[in-house]
Structure 1
Amino acid sequence: MSDFQLHQQLAQDCFKVGSFGLSELLIMNDSQYPWFILAPRRANVKEIYQLNTLDRQTLLNESCLLAEILTDLYRPDKLNIAAIGNLVPQLHLHHVVRYQTDKSWPAPIWGKFASVPYAGDQLAQRATQVRVALSDHLIK
């Protein structure tokens, strides 16, 4: 576990919100969607089935908790949760808040449009909002 290192692409594209027991919670720097990522702190894991049983259950619990918080905060028309990993092989779960009014609806967001970074302190504000909502569950 101590040899876990966040994939370079995730580190470049995201900002750390906090840490759950298993996963790092990240926010994608794309203002077009509230978009969060869970990255389990397990080295050399590409797929969920490669996690041990306890870690699988923990990841599911963390994902469900995050999904509930995002739904409460943002009231999406749909919350997309996906583990794709074609470009970033390290296991990570995307949680993307979707609205029928977003520019990609109803198609998937991947590869549709270039990302639009948050302006000013908007990224920090959004991260703080979620961090506060999860404060009883984050370890740091």
Structure 2
Amino acid sequence: MIHQMLPSQGTLRIGSYEVPHVSVVGIVRSVTRDPLHVDYMIDDMTGPPIAVRKYINVESPSSNVVAMENTYVKVCGSIKNFEGKKSIAALGIITVTDLNDLTAHLMEVVQCKLFYTKVINDFFTKILCPTPFANNLVFRIPMHLSCFP
């Protein structure tokens, strides 16, 4: 879904809803360490690899574990769009140890897309906003917190 964003869009939308945070599962293709942050290139197999930046937390060194290349990870964060390039400012990165998590993530993506394009849109259109302008409303979606340990 991230690769479907237009270059001019600053946020991801599902239907008419803004998605402030995303969860991505993919393979770490490269890791670059810096004193302040760690940059990853994550390949989720839906398009070109996505740049992910995770800032180092000096107060909690245990949360600064760096994922190794060629391992599956789950990244939760917010999408940034700078000069037409999409990246993710990571809030959390965890290593995927069970490949069933990958299958579960794919099902969550399908469920999320169907829910926010069909169920919620029908609910707001028919029940709460029975006006011709109902499809132009923008609602903020709360972050899905299942990606944090």
Q: Which TM-score band applies after superposition, normalised by the shorter structure?
A: under 0.3
Larger radius of gyration: 2
Scaled by the length of structure 1, what TM-score is found? 0.28
Larger strand proportion of the pair: 2
